[in-house]
Amino acid sequence: MNNDEALQDTSRLLKSVSYFAALDASSLQLVARSATRRVFDAGQVIFLEGEPCAGLYVVERGWLKVIKIGMDGREQVLQMLGPGDACNAISVFTTAPNQATVIALEASQVWLVRREPLLHMLDEHPALARQVVKDLAGRVMHLVQMVEDLSLRSVEARLARLLLELAEDETIQRRRWATQAEMAARLGTVPDVVNRALRKLAAAGLIFVERQQIQILDRTRLRVIAQVDA
């Protein structure tokens, strides 16, 4: 693949990210020229909380987790990132260092778009600035919901909500890294508690748990437990 073809491929990937969807071809190529591809193995750290911000990270292939780590070493997963997702926007568009640690869950390819050209683009492209504001507002709403879940809902309710969010055609495919420990980190608890909650939902006939997948058997009752609107 020559340089022009590689640039076009990078531009197509960036075009799929909400921030850059409204940019014209020349502006998109300008962003693409500032991007570098990085490859990570499973378990490798993409960046650490508290480090200076290098730029915006865009996932091309693989899955990452965005985490905060407590003084006791316990993880709280803030977000899971898959192909086409971007992260570290808060630090890119402010003077703050990285606000969380990001780790590859499996072999992944990630593009790093440097901070400086992004800040320059904000001045010249109001559509980009509006999308950044919209995205950051969405992230605040996500964190508010997470605080509400952790403070006001039981583990069983949080688990039911997570299962509903993950299900496609009533089935949740379990990736190799989707262990009960990872699920516990997303729910703000420990694996034993998640295991008990899964068994309770299964015993009540709401789900069927297999090694590679979880099947939702009664969405209506699961929504009642999750405390979400119909």
CATH number of the domain to which 168 belongs: 1.10.10.10
Token look-up 């409204």 returns 22
Same domain, 107 and 218: no
Same domain, 143 and 161: no
Same domain, 197 and 119: no
User: What is the Cα–Cα distance from 146 to 150, expressed in whole angstroms?
Assistant: 6
Same domain, 82 and 117: yes
Sites in the chain below the pLDDT cut of 50: none
Of the residues 126, 150, 174, the one at which a domain ends:
150
Of the residues 105, 131, 150, the one at which a domain ends:
150
Same domain, 105 and 177: no
Same domain, 221 and 122: no
Same domain, 52 and 131: yes
Read off the CATH number of the domain in which 141 is found: 2.60.120.10
Domain tally, the chain: 2
Of the residues 112, 131, 150, the one at which a domain ends:
150
Pairing of strands 45-47, 108-114: unpaired
Closest to 18 measured CA to CA, from 56, 52, 55: 56
Which tens digits make up the pLDDT trace of 154-213?
999 999 999 999 999 899 998 889 899 999 999 999 999 999 999 999 999 999 999 889
Same domain, 170 and 132: no
What pLDDT is recorded for position 3? 62
Alpha carbon of 36 to those of 6, 18, 148: distances in Å? 11, 19, 37
Q: Determine the structural domain holding residue 218 and report its residue range.
A: 154-226
Same domain, 138 and 196: no
Same domain, 169 and 62: no
Read off the pTM. 0.84
